[in-house]
Chains A and B, each alone.
Chain A
Amino acid sequence: MSDTLSESAGQRDDAPATAVDAMIVARGLRKSFRQSSGASFEAVRGIDLEVRKGESFGFLGPNGAGKSSTMRMIAAVSPVTEGELRILGMDPAVDGPAIRGRLGVCPQEDNLDQELNVFDNLYIYGRYFGLPKQVVRDRVGELLEFAKLTEKAKSRVEELSGGMKRRLTIARSLVNRPDLLLLDEPTTGLDPQARHLLWDQLFRLKQAGVTLVLTTHYMDEAEQLCDRLVVMDKGVIVAEGAPLELIRAHSTREVAELRFGVGEHGDHAEALADLGERVEVLPDRLLVYTDDGEEVLAKTHERGLQPLATLVRRSSLEDVFLRLTGRTLVD
């Protein structure tokens, strides 16, 4: 990875910036949809964000939290209902084409051109950015390599597997060498190898100065990739910070996982409530939040309860997520 390349990303100052190095600034951002019933539904209900250059920023949140709606506003394809949004220092309502020229977008659902083959999908898309033919052709070769699709260059999109389509969509988002890359659940549908490969590639991108914004349902992915993340729920941001900060703020040092027979978890939760700071009931297990997991196990046995399986582990982002967006029985 050469220095000059990251510099070229750092030297862009043609657009007026609201804050030094702010790639995205959102203040009181809202998005409403008119539903088929005619009623209006507010998917994003006033969020504040700031994403700085070179940062890797994540959105976490349960289904329907408003992550994709936010991403589409940032991609300058979805008009802001209320609030302020600046992307690369520009207003999406005014400078849509200029903003999109510098963004790479990988939507949640692949929207490849079904009528074109793999090569042409990248080539034609690249041309939409006003890139010269030869430049696009060279890049397509590299991107095919990147997506491990060189052999499939002449295949129709429908002949690709789900994961291949995903890789093609991601490769496509890189064709204009974007300053800001938006990835909506990029690794959904990828096999573990492809996922790790992509993580590595995204990491290199970040080192080269590309700003990453991604959403994900994989907590390990968020921990690996994001410098900073927000947890969204029902259209608002419920927590913000670096992964470790969040774990420290919203969880204990360790978690004891206890599995009992089907349907018994609710009852046992009451009995064990005092063993940890918090007990979380999942459909298939109990999570006891504590600073000493082994002690929880010992006390559980002392009380005559025999879990079918047990596990003591360190707290992870997943626990934060459950805490912030789930329903905790005992708090």
Chain B
Amino acid sequence: MTTLASDTTQVQPLTAAAATRLLVLRNYVVYRDAWKLFLTGFLEPVFYLFSIGIGVGALVSGFEVGGKEVSYAAFVAPGMLAASAFNGALIDSTYNVFFKLKYVRLYDQMLATPLTTGDIARGEIAWGQLRGASYATMFLLVMLAMGLIDSWWALLALPAVLLIGFAFSAVCMAATTWMRNFQDFDKITLVQLPLFLFSATFFPIDTYSGPVRWIVECTPLYRGVVLCRELTTGTVSVASGVSVAYLLVMGVVGLLVVRRRLDALLLT
């Protein structure tokens, strides 16, 4: 019966980092048994690369990137790298978060402990990043094996992917806090699909002209795609710095909003 006597002396205050680690631990325990699913996640961009890059690529001649002629596969691969970070972050922080928030009410039980809403936001995003990073590493290795990497700059593609994931996770999680039911997710598709298809992932930006091109250049996934492409093809420029700053600001703003919104939603 010792379990029953009160003794909270062992309870320790949690630092933000420790709390984040605990939430990552929780997700790790959940996915420990679902490693098959985890492993297959990385195949997605690889399939795209083979299908569009190689299959459709056989019908298309190469493109020019930063004054350099590259094959269609080498052109599409970094786009897939960025787009898969984007898709992964989106799924993780919309569907999965919504499920935990509204259906299984997981966050309610966490908030009955010393954890705070900020810890939850950081923990979920950190977990998504770990997943994203492992997928990106494997994808970069596939690119390397297929001879689609032209430069040592490609090493920086990994942090770039993390940055993309962070920016989108934060913003999408913020958006999720406004969702009322699963039907609202149709609206997410409305944003996801155009971004995925038109962010110069499959064809160069000069396919567009005038204001359309200008608009595309201002969208976040486009910044991510060109950033990855500049890194793997070794054509880094000032524009790369702009992309980095853009994504960083986006992520931080998203995180602040998430925290405020979770407070409003869960602490009622």
Contacts and interface: CB of A to CB of B under 8 A. Distances in A.
Interface of A: 1-2, 5-6, 8-9, 12, 33, 75, 77-79, 96-98, 100-103, 105, 107, 111-116, 120, 124-125, 127-132, 135, 139, 142-143, 146, 174, 176-179, 201, 204-205, 208-210
Nearest to A179: B6
17 contacts: A2-B2, A5-B6, A8-B7, A9-B5, A77-B267, A96-B114, A101-B11, A101-B113, A107-B109, A113-B26, A114-B104, A116-B29, A130-B12, A130-B14, A178-B8, A208-B4, A210-B6
Nearest to B116: A97
A124 B29 contact: yes
A72 B29 CA distance: 29
Given A100-B112, A112-B109, A114-B104, A131 B10 contact: yes
Contact of B114 (A8, A101, A114, A116): A101
B7 A111 contact: no
Interface of B: 1-14, 18, 22, 25-26, 29-30, 104-106, 108-116, 266-268
Nearest to B22: A127
A111 B108 contact: yes
B5 A177 contact: yes
Contacts of A12: 8
Contacts of B2: 2, 5, 142
A6 B5 CA distance: 7
Nearest to B106: A113
A96 B266 CA distance: 14
A1 B1 contact: yes
B203 to A, nearest CB: 40
Nearest to A54: B6
A87 to B, nearest CB: 13
B1 A129 contact: no
A124 B25 contact: yes
A61 B94 CA distance: 39
A125 B113 contact: yes
A78 B113 contact: no
Given A111-B109, A116-B26, 7 more contacts: A77-B266, A79-B267, A101-B13, A115-B104, A177-B8, A205-B4, A209-B5
A10 to B, nearest CB: 9
Nearest to B103: A114
Given A111-B106, A125-B109, A8 B9 contact: yes
A96 B115 CA distance: 9
Nearest to A11: B9
Given A100-B114, A127-B25, A130-B18, A9 B6 contact: yes
A112 to B, nearest CB: 7
A216 to B, nearest CB: 19
Q: Which of A101, A139, A210 has the most CB of B within 10 A?
A: A101
Nearest to A156: B33
B3 A142 contact: yes
B9 to A, nearest CB: 7
Contacts of A113: 26, 104, 106, 109
Given A116-B29, A124-B26, A128-B22, A1 B114 contact: no
